[in-house]
Amino acid sequence: MDLRNIVECDGTSDVATVNQRLREGWVLLAVAAGQDDEGHPSIWYSLGYPEEDDGEGVPLPPLQA
């Protein structure tokens, strides 16, 4: 994956959101494990939405908080 083709980035710790975005065409860029402010295990997923090969891009799905 050429990161120059990513037209939008997002991050979340919610697995359901990650799975939904992957179904929508987003790609997983990185995964980081650590601890939250209270010392509990935490995983952060970084996602990117790639443009089409023709370079014109694709419509982005709406972001949901």
Domain ranges of the chain: 3-50
Is there a contact between 29 and 46 (Cβ–Cβ < 8 Å)? yes
d(CA 44, CA 13): 5
d(CA 56, CA 50): 11
Residue 47's pLDDT is 97
Is there a contact between 11 and 56 (Cβ–Cβ < 8 Å)? no
Q: Give pLDDT tens digits for 18-63.
A: 999 999 999 999 999 999 999 999 999 999 999 876 555 555 566 6
d(CA 57, CA 36): 35
d(CA 41, CA 30): 17
Residue 53's pLDDT is 62
